Amino acid sequence: MGLSLIIVLPLFFIPGGQILSGAVFFGTVSYAIMPYDILMDFLDEGELEGFLETLVVERRLLAIVVSFLPMIPLIGFFAPFLTALILTHLLLSNLKSSKANL
């Protein structure tokens, strides 16, 4: 989270950088923080770290895609809800399939 703050602050001084700063911040939140909030009721800390390591590529791609949702005029209002919904579906479906394989 600190790294994204270091990246975001200089963008405010560049024309047009304000748009990218929002995308960087929203992408960081959806990649780093939201998965812990979603899965903390289903997995303990050790299992959570191991499970999230298996989904690094999917989570990064999702973070890149949803980071630009707030820029779309009507969809931007619902972007946090849509992001949480998409991420919840991704994580819980992968958790269900990984539990079924055990």
**How does 81-100 read in b/e, with b if 16+ C-beta sit within 10 Å?**
eebeeebeebbeeebeeeee
Higher pLDDT, 39 or 17: 39
* Structural domain total, the chain: 1
pLDDT band at 12 (very low <50, low <70, confident <90, very high): confident
Query: What average pLDDT does the structure give for the chain?
Result: 85
Range of the domain at 48: 2-101
pLDDT grade for 61, boundaries at 50, 70 and 90: confident
How far is Cα 67 from Cα 86, in angstroms, rounded to an integer? Answer: 13
Helix (H, G, I), strand (E, B) or coil at 26: helix
Per-residue pLDDT of 68-99, as tens digits, reads 888 888 888 898 898 889 999 999 999 999 88
pLDDT value of residue 4: 65
